[in-house]
Structure 1
């Protein structure tokens, strides 16, 4: 036995569990696990599920015995998931989602249709400008699909994290060489967004203006490009989103360097200047789980996203 396996065995024994226990979890146990993780408490989970607190506690203890690990730290402030608990809850959400998909796809196979809820995580500019026409075409072709869009800041785990945690079926994320598709997920690039200089219209020397920026603006590749540009100052205004950046720039409060999607619907008083052939770009793509990638609704959305990406590339070449 290795030191690591010995430590694991000791930890499980300390918690009163045995190792290598066959895991035979029922869907209702998974739902209780997810509810406790989401609500961060047994009482709150019981209220959401319409159960008693003792029933929830009993179920979690049974789940911990079956898994062989402590899933929640109990305390006065509620139930905090352990590392094992967070992992188990993420898998539980994905399993429950597959059960929902099983039913929807079986009904679709019988009727020759594609239907059911399709959960999408997207960051702000994608939700505002890329998704609406895509979802319009998707639902026109497949009226039975019910899109649910959740806007998520593309920071930290971002939209890909929503997919990995089982909260979304597909995420529109910034991916590429410096932001690879996270382990355990699959995906591909849809569009390349070039960056441009955005400044008050008619300003004689826009590069001399203060920089207005926001946290989600770009990844490490673009920041490396920025670092090599001596004319780009440190941001003096840092806003919550790209819409606030555009508002600030339109009022003459500074200039910004922004990706193409964020410039849709730019207000009056703004001018957009090309940064030249060496300009940076941002790769926007989709991520999903291997098990959901083959489902009819996800495949239908990916087809529409690819078509939109090709259209955007064609427009960029014409410009």
Structure 2
């Protein structure tokens, strides 16, 4: 019997996947695939290939992949805003940008209090239009994913861009290396991963959870889940409030109580994931060199 990619650790996971649905390799040839973002209107996915300084595009209808943008300023995380425009974290330019409908680029944030950001990493847009992003130092730690430089800020924070004023504010300042982030379905909670262990074995490899106060600030921040295989990098949250997170051995599914209930094994270290397809039940997976996907059952797994 062919080995299954699914590992059930809790019976709650069993109803979420179809045992006959296999993990498919859609494209390969990347150096570090990251930042997938799905465009429903065009049925295509854009993702970053950071060291190759390019963004890629996968066409869901034709099943083909091609370069979307090159150079890309060593782009990393991507998402869509409420109007369907692409919002991108750029390592090399140390900024967050928006791609307008005519293809022009608008800079949304590149400095805080007059000092350049480190290297914005991952980004999410709330329903009020505010943009939340993480800013660790991975893009300035070396020339591989950006350009080596000293941090002007001296720390790695989580930021919020105000939708009316464009003002940039720090919403969390006690991370080592803040990385992936996502809101709960009702947007009352924000989950943020800390991948500080890349720099020191004593540092975190977990996801924390915050309460969103007055739509502009955070409270709490307790550890929600520890990673059991490598690091939690990028992740998404489904309509049932479960987390589907990247990890060293594939994708980890974490229940609302913080329990790891199952895994989808992938042959490469996973950096990020994204839901797509007309029913949002197709999980796109950015592995190290490749883009993968797998179809899930529609049991509250659909998400934007």
TM-score normalized by the length of structure 2: 0.25
- In terms of fraction of residues, the more helix-rich structure is 1
TM-score normalized by the length of structure 1: 0.24
- In terms of fraction of residues, the more strand-rich structure is 2
